[in-house]
Amino acid sequence: MKPMARQPLRLLLAAVAAVAMLSFLLLLAPPPDALLSAFLSPSSPYAHRPKLLFLLAGQSNMAGRGALARPLPPPYLPHPRLLRLAASRRWVPAAPPLHADIDTHKTCGLGPAMPFAHRLLLLLHSDEVLGLVPCAVGGTRIWMWARGQPLYEAAVDRARAAVADGGGAIGAVLWFQGESDTIELDDARSYGAKMERLVADLRADLHLPNLLVIQVGLASGEGNYTDIVREAQKNINLPNVLLVDAMGLPLRDDQLHLSTEAQLQLGNMLAEAYLKFNSSRGSML
């Protein structure tokens, strides 16, 4: 009888040991993003090739809150020559949601960057690569993007890392932000000056005095001063700063975030603005 009485205790100790070993292994395991990058990066022969780079910055509508439709619309499907700089700063195949490991406190969905990139891929040579550098974080005000603030410094560091890993050039900054600056009147009134300062600082810190910035005119706002911020966006007094107006594009039920259909349209509008700008300068891309 005694050996049988010990059997449950032995089973319990074995189970505890197994749980302890599993916990230890989990502590040693890399984070999910690193696992994803390690799995995906070798599958792309373009990871360390020179790329045409685009910095994606701003708040939730740039990060993407469009519903993740199944199946995905073709402009959101992966493409071998379309890569994303992950939070781990490794190049992985771009697939929505692009900001899942950047805008980590919110549920990310479809944004404008994938359809934007797919439109450009149609015009690129067959060996050229696009690199998307997600930096947007939902709910952020423009003062949070000032030089010295964590969001700004992270964006500049990620831009530098993108250029350094295989070379390449930054084609433009795609900027969609301002909804949070419509809540307080002082924020709305000071938006224009802060945006001009941001552009000047980015150009100085990235050593790109002619860096193209394509900003999205607000389609909505969190407060009552959307018109003031929109007016400031229209009156940015700097060269190589374009405005693509999202007003009138369909919104989700929250009346704040663009729908999937709207994000598709916006991506094409951003691509048109970029192509038109480069065409006027005698360059396609």
Of 99, 103, 187, 257, which one is the catalytic site residue?
A: 257
Instruction: Name the catalytic one among 37, 44, 60, 180.
Output: 60
Give the Cα separation of 131 and 40 in Å (integer).
15
- 170, two tokens: 């930054």
254 noted as active-site residue = yes
Distances (CA, A) of 94 to 48, 84, 146, 175, 267: 15, 5, 28, 19, 15
The answer to whether residue 257 is catalytic is yes
Residue 276 makes CB contacts below 8 A (sequence gap 6+) with none
105 given a catalytic annotation: no
| Set 253, 254, 280, 283: catalytic member | 254
Instruction: Say how many CA atoms lie within 13 Å of 284 toward its Cβ.
Output: 7
Report the 10 Å Cβ neighbour count for 59: 26
Catalytic residues: 60, 254, 257
